[in-house]
Chain A
Amino acid sequence: MNARLWTFAGRAYLAVILVFLYAPILVMAVMSFNASEFYQLPFRFSTQWYQALAGNGEILAASWRSVWIAALVSVIATALGSAASIALYRYAFYGKTILRLLLFPPIAIPWLITGTAMLIFFFGIGLDRGTPSVIIGHVALALPYVIIVVSARLTSFDHTLEEAARSLGASPWQVTRAVIIPWIAPGIIAGALFAFAVSFDQFVVSYFLSEPGDATLPVLIYTAIRKGFTPEINAISTIIIVFSMGIMLLVARFFAFGGKR
C-alpha cells in the first residue's frame, strides 16, 4: 500500500477513536436540552431540565459541598505535597526510594479497597462517616498526584541557578523561597488544579465515606441513577463534565502530560 493511503488510514482510525470517546458525552449533553422526559425524538430544544436543577435544593447543596470540599482538599494537598516534593528533591537521605514508592499505593490500589479500608478505620477510631472523613480521604488520594506533578517540574530545575544564589550569599531558606518556588510555580498550580479535579470527580471513596444526608455530587448522582434515569441527571452531569474538562484543560496549560513542549 502506498504511504498516502497509510497516512489516511491512520487519521481515519484516530477520528474513529475520538468519536468513540466523545460521542456518548455529546449525546448526553444534547439530550439534556431535549424537552422529552423519556429521551424521545424528534428533538425539541428546551432548557427546562436546567431550570429544574436551579430549584432542586438537594442537588444544589451537593454541588456546593463538592466544590468547597475540592477547594479545601486542593489547598491542603498542594501545601503538603509541594513541601514533600522540595524535600525529596533537595536533600539526599536514606530511604528516599521507599518514600517515592509509598506514593503509588493510593494511586494503584483500587479505590474500592482503599475506600472500604478507610471506612473501617475511620469508623473504628470514632470519626464515623461524614464530610471530615471525606476530606481526609480525598487529600490522601490527591497528595501523590501533587508530589508527582511538582517533582516533574523540579527535575527541570537548573542547578546553576541555586549555585549562583548560594555564592551570592543566600541561605538555604532564601534559595527555596526566592529561586526554587518561583521556578516550580507552574507545577504547583498544575498540582493544585489536579488535586481539585481528583476530589471533585472522586466517587468511590466519597461513596463509602459520606453520610446519606450530606453526599457529594457524584454520590448523589449514583444514587439517583440507580433509582432511574431522569433528564435532570443529564443536565447536572453535562455541567460536571464541562466543568471537570475545563479544569483539566487549565492543568494542561501549566503541565504537559509527559508530552514534549
Chain B
Amino acid sequence: MGATGKLARQDRLRAITLLSPAYLWLTVAVFLPLSAMVCFSFLSDVPFGGREWHLTLANYGAFFQTTTYAKLFWKSLELGFIVTLLCVVIGFPCALVLAKTIRGRAREALFLLVILPFWSNSLVRIFSWAILLRGNGVLDLAVNAVLPFDVRVNLMFSKTAIVIGLVHSYLPYVILTAYLALQAIDDSLIEAARSLGAKKHTILWRIILPLSVPGLTAGAVLVFVPVVGSFMEPRILGGRVGTYYGTVIEDQFVAVFNWPLGAALSFILLAVVLLILALASPVLKRVQT
C-alpha cells in the first residue's frame, strides 16, 4: 500500500511538472486577460497614468441606452447567420461529393486542396478579393470582355463583397467538419438501404443528413462565432458600409481609446459566444475525435 501510494505521488508530481508550463502560459496569456477585461468593463476610465476612476455600470448602460450598439450587434449576428447558412448550403454537397463519390489518392489530394486555403493567411485572401471585386477590377474587365454590352460590376465596398469574402474564408471549415462526419458513416448502411429499395433522395434525407448533423453543427458554430466578431473583413471589403459590431470594438481600442467601453462591448460579445458554444456543446461533444 505504501509503495503504490508513493508511486501515485511520483506520478502526480510528473504529471504536474509536464502540465503546468503549458497551463500556466494559457492562464497568463488568455484566462487572466479575459478576467481582466471583465473587471475593466466596470471602470469609468483606464486605471493607469494617475487617471481618476471608479466602478460604474455606465459602459453597459451605453449598450442599452441607445439603440446604436444593439443595432450593430444585430447587424453582426445577421451577417453571421447569412455567412453560416451559405457555408453550410455550399459546403455540404462539396463534402458529400468528396467523401462518397471519390476514392483513394485522388480524394486525399482534393480534400487537401479544399482545406489548404483555410490554413493560409486570411488577411491576404480577403485582400485578393478586393483586387478582384473593385470597380475596373479583374471581375469587371472579365465580365465586359464576355458580354457584348457594357455593364459596371463594382461589388467592392458592399455587403455582398463582405459576404463573399467571409464565405470564402470559412467555407473550408464547414467542408472539413462535414467531410469528417460523412466519412464516419458506414457505407454498408447506405448499401443496406439501397438493397431494400430506398431511392437516392430517401437515403440522403433519412440516413446521410441525420448522421452528418453533428459535423454540420460543429462547422456552423466554428463559422458563426468568428464571423460575428469579424472586423478586418468588413473594413477591407466594406469600406464605408463596413461598420459592424467588431469594427466598433476595434475603434474603441485603436482609435477612440475608450478601453472600458471596448471591454464592455467585447464582454457582451463573449457572453453571446459562450452561450452559443454551451448550447451547441452536446452536439459538439459527439464529433470530438
Contacts and interface: CB of A to CB of B under 8 A. Distances in A.
A218 B121 contact: yes
Contacts of A13: 93-94, 97
Given A83-B18, A226-B235, A244 B120 contact: yes
Interface string A97-110: 00100111110111
Contact of A112 (B121, B124, B131, B229): B229
Contacts of B229: 110-113
A112 B226 CA distance: 9
B19 A257 contact: no
A27 interface: yes
A23 B131 CA distance: 11
B51 interface: no
B1 interface: no
Interface string A202-226: 0110011000000000100110011
A237 B125 CA distance: 9
Contacts of B90: 17
Interface residues of chain A: helix, strand, loop or mixed (majority): helix
B143 interface: no
B123 A221 contact: yes
Given A114-B30, A120-B259, A172-B14, A31 B138 contact: yes
A27 B232 contact: no
Given A21-B172, A112-B266, A258-B176, A248 B129 contact: no
A136 B29 CA distance: 6
B25 A143 contact: yes
Contact of B114 (A7, A18, A93, A99): A18
Interface centre among B33, B180, B249, B254 (most CB of A within 10 A): B33
Given A117-B37, A259-B111, A241 B120 contact: yes
Contact of A120 (B36, B102, B168): B36
Given A102-B26, A257-B115, A112 B127 contact: no
B14 A91 contact: yes
Contact of B26 (A113, A143, A233, A252): A143
A138 to B, nearest CB: 9
A175 B228 CA distance: 47
Contacts of A261: 108
Contacts of A22: 117
Nearest to B246: A112
A24 interface: yes
Given A87-B14, A110-B226, A120 B37 contact: yes
Contact of A221 (B11, B124, B131, B235): B124
Nearest to B235: A226
B26 A222 contact: no
Contact of A259 (B11, B37, B108, B130): B108
A221 B33 contact: no
Contact of A21 (B93, B114, B127, B232): B114
A64 to B, nearest CB: 17
Given A197-B119, A208-B253, A248-B120, A81 B128 contact: no
Most chain B beta-carbon contacts within 10 A, residue among A14, A119, A143: A14
Given A83-B18, A108-B222, 11 more contacts: A21-B168, A22-B117, A108-B273, A110-B269, A120-B263, A121-B32, A121-B37, A140-B28, A234-B131, A237-B121, A245-B116
16 contacts: A24-B125, A24-B168, A28-B124, A28-B128, A102-B31, A104-B277, A112-B266, A117-B263, A137-B29, A140-B26, A172-B11, A203-B121, A203-B232, A222-B236, A234-B131, A257-B115
